[in-house]
Structure 1
Amino acid sequence: MRLPRLRVRNLLILEGVISISVSSYLATSTYVFHAHLLGQTIPVAQRSFSFASLFAGLFMVILGTLSTSRTRAVWYTSFLLLSLEVVIFLISLGRKSHVSLLGIILAAFTMFLLIRRRKDYVEPSQLLTDPRLAVSLIIVAFTAAYGVGGSLLLGQDFRPPITSIGTAIYYAGETVTTLGFGDILPVTLSARLFTVSLSVMGVAVFFGALTLLITPVIEKRIGGVTMTMERLGVRSLRDYTLICGYSPLVQAFISAQRSRGKNVVVIDDEVGQEALASLGVLTVKGEPDDEKALSVFQLGNSECIVVGTSDDSRNMLICAALSQVVDGETRKKVSVIVNSPRNRNKFAPFGFRIIDLSELVSRSLG
């Protein structure tokens, strides 16, 4: 019997859950490690590693749950988090050996799968291909490293002295955010100049760069919520008119339908939402020639469906998509505008009602 292929996403979620469990247990530990850096001995409480493991676990759960892309950024981020988990679990072996050992084995196995499947992660990363986002990420990382590293190096120039990584992170954070609680004070000129430079960097650069990083994520989430709400609204409609592909050709028809009190929905990837919104028309941003986009609509509940772009080739693609998602009864509701009479026969196989513009013009002139 062939075993199902293990998915890296599922392993990341499992590793994150184990990390959260272990870090929650070790958060009450009073054990202190002593790290030697540039001739100084810096005490590091195991709780600090536990909190780092907690956040890493949460991030892995989020990454495994929400990330569906296979970009190099996802690969590097996953590998970095798993490496961090291996280090933290090795340090934590003393108090919770069996769970920590399980976390190490699972993290190592997931890293092994990532290495084997590294060729699958070839999709371009928006973060790395956009120069503004890449520079913003570098600025955020540099500011954090500058604040924490400077606080540790000048630790004896503060009162009370900064002697731990946790205190350095805390002081850098309150300085960058300009909170300034006053519980840690710079007492030498070097420490004061460092504090001023860190404050200026935080106000002038850090938050601007952080905004550039967060804004695309927020816009994407808001766009997803908006699209979901639009789909829910569309599914509840009855006896509505669906316009697949907007063009000035259907403007008068839309106005006539609205004057009769009919609900009109327009689906197009580039549509003037402001102009149509003034008429009370619901606009859905999407490709009208995409079967998935069309399947969102309850087409059987529509009164009529109009394919109305000014490009016959695009109308042909929309008709091909519609023919895959409509049944026999709904097919009778579809009308397609044919802009050129020589293309009329090309639309005949779809079985939709054909509106020939050349015939309409001849009738109006005759």
Structure 2
Amino acid sequence: MVGERVTERVPENWRWSVTTRAVVGLALVVALLSVATGILRIDQEAADFGPIAPHVPLAVQEAVGFTGALTGFLMVASALALRRGLRVGWWATLLLLPLTAIQGLLQGSQYSLPLVVLSLVSMPTLLLTHKRFDRSLSLTTTQLAAAGALVGVQAYGTFGAYALRDDFDGIEHLLDAFYFTLITSSTVGYGDIGPETEEAQLFTMSVVVLGVASFGIAIGALVGPAIQDRISKTLGMMTDSELELLDDHVLVLGYGDLTEPIVSELDATGEQFLVVTENESATSSLTDRDIRVLDANPSDEEPLGRAKIEDARAVVVATNDDARDALAVLTARELRPDIRIVAAATDRENTPKLERAGADDVISLAELGGHLLVRSALGSDESPVVSRLLETD
């Protein structure tokens, strides 16, 4: 019964996972092909092109070489977003795949045929897995402000330089103005475009100061948290920003041999949950499986507060130590008197103790195991105890 249901669900979840990994893999392959064909188109001579797209102007073929490489790098970013299950990554990939196919056709190269075919093949697979990528991209106010400042400075420099184009040597078009702004604000400064009047010099200095400041702030605000998250995951820790996203989740307090089936079941059903344990090896293992884990003592108030127990829907406690479980149950009950707490007792005699600690329901594994063995031996589903325990499944 229970085993059959779990057995039926695991292959379905496995197939779903394989399909999701296939989408991410296809996106990465398309990204690499787009970059590679773009570079090849830039490097090769015009004589090597044309049979596939003879009516495409040479200027267009050369332009899509540059844009194809750029699209490839954008596709890499969208594939990484897909890897994290972000909805924005799914939308970005959905928009970029037709673009890579079109660019492959316009490049007019026999080398771009695999890019076109793979881009078209990837789109149906992406559409079939749209429900899997449901995580929202959460940006802090600081990150939004930093991104806005970076875009604002580039806009200021581009339109300002274009308005003062008569005071510069080398600015004739809006693209020239953007090129000047990007090169100047990033402090590269090739020197091919320069100011010729005092007004243009003052403007150039303002672009340098604002550009350096905006780039510094953007890197600190946008890239810094990503580095911090990676370090935290390596050390088996969750950041405060990740914990803030928890809502209506299940808290699993402690980790042991009895906890692993619970974690696997919650992961298979797609429930949002967080494991709180001070077991370092378990923390590392769960982190490698992309399971949320907080490295802390589950019987302390501070980590349960960080785990947002006030917003949790239920608490599950099931390790190999009934005494430690009782402390975790007691702490959780004090912090959330109204939350449902379910515990497992390894020793049947400890069942009333866990109930007095605050557990709403205590399952004696010895009792449950005995009834399951009898039912299996007799080939009967009539055990009232087992039926009661399985009603919530």
Normalised by the shorter chain, which TM-score bucket?
0.5 to 0.7
TM-score, normalising length: structure 1: 0.54
Q: 1:223 aligns with which of 232, 253, 271?
A: 232
Aligned residue identity for 2:211: G
**Aligned CA distance change for structure 1 residues 180 and 347 (closer, same or farther; 3 Å):** same
Distance 1:87 1:22 in 2: 13
Aligned to 1:144: 154
Which secondary structure state, in structure 2, belongs to the residue aligned with residue 319 of structure 1? strand
Aligned residue identity for 2:83: T
Distance 1:30 1:160 in 2: 29
Following superposition, the deviation at residue 349 of structure 1 comes to 2.2
Write out the 4+ residue segments of structure 1 that deviate beyond 6 Å after TM superposition.
Answer: 44-48
Aligned to 2:265: none
Aligned residue identity for 1:218: I
Q: 2:331 aligns with which of 295, 308, 311?
A: 311
Distance 2:351 2:181 in 1: 64
Q: Does 1:103 align with 2:115?
A: yes
Is the 8 Å Cα contact of residues 343 and 361 (structure 2) preserved in structure 1? no
Aligned to 2:40: 25
Distance 2:160 2:67 in 1: 20
Distance 1:16 1:216 in 2: 25
Pairwise mapping of residues 47-66 of structure 1 onto structure 2 (< 5 A)? 49-65=64-80
Pairwise CA RMSD of aligned residues? 5.2
Which secondary structure state, in structure 1, belongs to the residue aligned with residue 299 of structure 2? coil
Aligned to 1:134: 144
CA deviation string 1:79-113 (max 9, x = no partner): 343354345334412xx1x3324423433454566
CA deviation string 1:210-266 (max 9, x = no partner): 4222222222111111118x99953699xxxx9961238xxxxxxxxxxxxxxxxxx
Aligned residue identity for 1:125: L
**Where does the alignment leave 5 or more consecutive residues of structure 1 unmatched?**
32-43, 249-266, 272-287, 324-330, 353-366
Is the 8 Å Cα contact of residues 176 and 201 (structure 1) preserved in structure 2? yes
Aligned to 2:268: none
Aligned to 1:40: none
Aligned residue identity for 1:139: A
Aligned to 2:30: 15
Aligned to 1:158: 168
Once the two structures are overlaid, the 10-residue window that deviates more, 308-317 or 203-212, is 308-317
Distance 2:83 2:19 in 1: 16
Distance 1:163 1:175 in 2: 17
**Where does the alignment leave 5 or more consecutive residues of structure 2 unmatched?**
1-14, 47-58, 238-276, 285-294, 307-313, 368-393
Aligned residue identity for 2:183: E
Is the 8 Å Cα contact of residues 19 and 54 (structure 1) preserved in structure 2? yes
Is the 8 Å Cα contact of residues 136 and 209 (structure 1) preserved in structure 2? yes
Following superposition, the deviation at residue 318 of structure 1 comes to 6.9
Is the 8 Å Cα contact of residues 341 and 361 (structure 2) preserved in structure 1? no
Q: 1:234 aligns with which of 271, 281, 304?
A: 281
**Aligned CA distance change for structure 1 residues 149 and 188 (closer, same or farther; 3 Å):** same
Aligned to 2:135: 123
CA deviation string 1:166-221 (max 9, x = no partner): x7665323321345454532114564354234224324444324422222222211
Count of matched residue positions in the alignment of Structure 1 and Structure 2: 280
TM-score, normalising length: structure 2: 0.51
Aligned residue identity for 1:77: A
**Aligned CA distance change for structure 1 residues 102 and 65 (closer, same or farther; 3 Å):** same
Distance 2:228 2:304 in 1: 17
Aligned residue identity for 1:133: Q
